[in-house]
Structure 1
Amino acid sequence: MPKEKKAFPLRLDPELYQVLEKWASDEFRSVNAHIEYLLRETANKAGRLRKSQDKN
């Protein structure tokens, strides 16, 4: 059974959002999915994400 995702508001600079929107589109992801991907990758590289939590 998949875990429920935590929803929360995120305020971003409009210019940064445009960059993320284009980047996400280039990767065939939604902006939300791309932000989650980037955060997960960064957490993995920093050694902060346990392997059992890594879904990639």
Structure 2
Amino acid sequence: MSKKAFALRLDPAVHAAIERLAAAELRSANAQIEMLLREALARRGVEVPASRPPRRGRPKKDD
């Protein structure tokens, strides 16, 4: 899974609120924004499938 990077302009007060909420929930601001967007989409009836988590560790050896 790869994430799409883009510039996001936010009101400084909104950014500060997101950072406070993220810190309280032990998330990064980026993860908090993504979670809030997913919640807002769900409330509007838009289903976004959960992405597969990235693969961790070394690749398996081919025998």
TM over 0.5: yes
Q: TM-score, normalised by structure 2?
A: 0.72
Consecutive unaligned residues of structure 2, counting only runs of 5 or more, are 52-63
1:27 aligns with 2:25: yes
Name the structure where helix makes up a greater proportion of residues: 1
Q: TM-score scaled by structure 1?
A: 0.80
Poorly superposed stretches of 4+, deviation over 2 Å: none
Structure 1: tracts of 5 or more residues without a match: none
User: Do structure 1's residue 6 and structure 2's residue 14 form an aligned pair?
Assistant: no
Q: Which structure has the bigger radius of gyration?
A: 2
Which whole-Å CA distance do the structure 1 matches of 2:42 and 2:12 have between them? 27
Say what the alpha-carbon RMSD is for the aligned residues: 1.3
Paired AA for residue 20 in structure 2: K
> Aligned pair count?
51
